[in-house]
């Protein structure tokens, strides 16, 4: 319930009110908005290194460092939600490494599980109030999922998958930009690592997702006018080519 209260996505919250009080939402990529919202009651700032569900919003290169500096001067904890950006997705093991700063607390899930359900939060020494065993859960931290997370993470690090992600980033974006040049309805293509988005000039995302899925390319509509691409981190040039061809066929139906 607390993390539902933290999201800025109102449609996730509507069915679960009343939510925990005390979260204030500010526009993304706007350090001054964080400064203005800070009061003597503020304890932490929480954000994503790149917003996923919000529309694949990539911040200015110095945004995270400036938020870090503000938190340091104000004595606030900086919490990064790395559930979409962590585990290699942006081209580094953790997204914050792309921005040359460090959070105090970080959440991980999705990519940590390699297909099995696991979530984690990590905190620097001095920022963690919990003792081992405090955060119990019947199925939390079980032997199967932790073994899978360990094995997958070992593979990711030993095979330097984040470096592969960096190599594929420009190829994926080039292919998406080529499609953007051919289809007037595409207003923008953006991405970092293997987290990318195509934005349309109107609310076409639902139709694009339907046609793309029928063509065998699984996409997600993160906004009414924006689809998100989150391919496997091991994707190859040939697979990107095939996806681009299929997506082109799908866009012809729009
Ligand atoms: C950025 C981000 N944070 C948090 C969550 C919620 O994660 P969980 O489903 O592990 O609670 C999601 C899920 O989509 C997410 O994308």
pLDDT tens-digit readout, 20-66 = 999 999 999 999 999 999 999 999 999 999 999 999 999 999 999 99
- DSSP assigned state of 51: B
- How many CB atoms lie under 10 A from the CB of residue 36? 10
Query: What is the model's pLDDT at position 141?
Result: 80
In the structure encoding, which two tokens stand for residue 189, read together?
């293509």
Residue of 28, 46, 110 best suited for mutating to test ligand 1, as the one with most atoms within 8 Å of CB: 110
In the structure encoding, which two tokens stand for residue 102, read together?
């460090």
Query: What is the model's pLDDT at position 160?
Result: 98
Query: What is the model's pLDDT at position 137?
Result: 82
Q: What CA–CA distances, in Å, run from 18 to 4, 23, 30, 66?
A: 11, 13, 28, 33
Residue 84 CB–ligand 1 contact under 6 Å: yes
Q: Are the beta carbons of 194 and 169 closer than 8 angstroms?
A: yes
Query: What is the model's pLDDT at position 89?
Result: 98
**Contacts (Cβ under 8 Å, ≥6 apart) of 211:** 250, 251, 253, 254
Residue 52 CB–ligand 1 contact under 6 Å: yes
Instruction: Provide the whole-model pTM.
Output: 0.94
Residue 51 CB–ligand 1 contact under 6 Å: no
**Residues 67, 78: Cα–Cα separation, whole Å:** 8
**Residues 216, 242: Cα–Cα separation, whole Å:** 10
30 alpha carbon – ligand 1 mean position (Å): 22
In the structure encoding, which two tokens stand for residue 125, read together?
């020494």
- pLDDT by position in tens, the chain (length 254): 888 999 988 889 999 999 999 999 999 999 999 999 999 999 999 999 999 999 999 999 999 999 999 999 999 999 999 999 999 999 999 999 999 999 999 999 999 999 999 999 999 999 988 888 888 888 778 899 999 999 999 999 999 999 999 999 999 999 999 999 999 999 999 999 999 999 999 999 999 999 999 999 999 999 999 999 999 999 999 999 999 999 999 999 99
Burial (0-12, 13-18, 19+ Cβ within 10 Å), 139 = exposed
Total length of the chain: 254
Give per-residue pLDDT as tens, 193-210.
999 999 999 999 999 999
Query: What is the model's pLDDT at position 136?
Result: 80
């Amino acid at each position: 319930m607390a993390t539902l209260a933290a999201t800025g996505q109102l449609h996730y919250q509507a069915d679960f009110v009343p939510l925990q009080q005390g979260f204030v939402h500010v526009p993304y990529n706007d350090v001054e908005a964080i400064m203005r919202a800070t009061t003597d009651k503020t304890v932490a700032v929480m954000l994503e290194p790149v917003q996923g569900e919000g529309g694949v919003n990539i911040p200015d290169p110095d945004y995270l460092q400036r938020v870090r500096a503000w938190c340091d001067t104000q004595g606030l904890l900086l919490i990064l939600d790395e559930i979409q950006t962590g585990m290699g997705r942006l081209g580094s093991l953790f997204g914050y490494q792309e921005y040359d700063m460090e959070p105090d607390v970080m959440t991980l899930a999705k990519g940590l599980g390699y297909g099995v359900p696991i979530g984690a939060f990590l905190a620097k020494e001095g920022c963690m109030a919990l003792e081992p065993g405090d955060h119990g859960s019947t199925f939390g931290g079980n032997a199967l999922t932790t073994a899978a997370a360990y094995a997958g993470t070992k593979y990711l690090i030993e095979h330097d998958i984040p470096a592969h992600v960096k190599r594929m980033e420009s190829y994926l974006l080039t292919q998406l930009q080529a499609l953007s040049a051919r289809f007037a309805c595409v207003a923008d293509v953006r991405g970092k690592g293997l987290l990318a988005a195509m934005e349309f000039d109107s609310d076409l995302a639902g139709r694009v997702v339907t046609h793309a899925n029928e063509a065998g390319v699984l996409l997600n509509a993160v906004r009414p006018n924006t689809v998100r691409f989150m391919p496997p981190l091991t994707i190859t040039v040939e697979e990107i080519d095939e996806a681009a061809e299929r997506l082109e066929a799908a866009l012809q139906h729009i």
